[in-house]
Structure 1
Amino acid sequence: MNHLVNSKKYYGLIEEKETENGVELTFETEWINDGFPRWLITFADYATILEPESLQTRLNELLLKISDKHK
């Protein structure tokens, strides 16, 4: 996940902390409906979205669209 190290600040990283479950990253971005979820797809199999629910929904929409297109 080297690309994450190089790009997370570009996508609005404001906090990074170690937890019992791994590393929790907090982002502040205006790209919540397009750019950010598309970037998140590149490592979505390693990530869990805690909030907002709208980001979870948008990511699921994009993943379904990708899946349907590549059947």
Structure 2
Amino acid sequence: EADEEEEHPAPVDSVVVASTAADQAPSTEETEPFKTDESAATPVPHPAYRMTARISIPAPVPVPAWSDSEVVRLLAMSS
């Protein structure tokens, strides 16, 4: 068991550098530009990220159609 290598934690003053998306992106030498008649299809987003607009409009409240005689009668009651 003495022959096994021991794992040593990194020193406190060491720096860990994570690769960024820019590091993983292909360089301009590795990619070819689109020709004018070419297009790229946009991938469909995952359903969890897809959002649709939903607008709900409440139904209008029906207004009774009163006759002229009813209007006159109601106005007479209020005065």
TM range (shorter): under 0.3
- TM superposition score normalised by structure 2: 0.22
- TM superposition score normalised by structure 1: 0.24
More helix as a share of residues: 1
More strand as a share of residues: 1
Larger Rg: 2
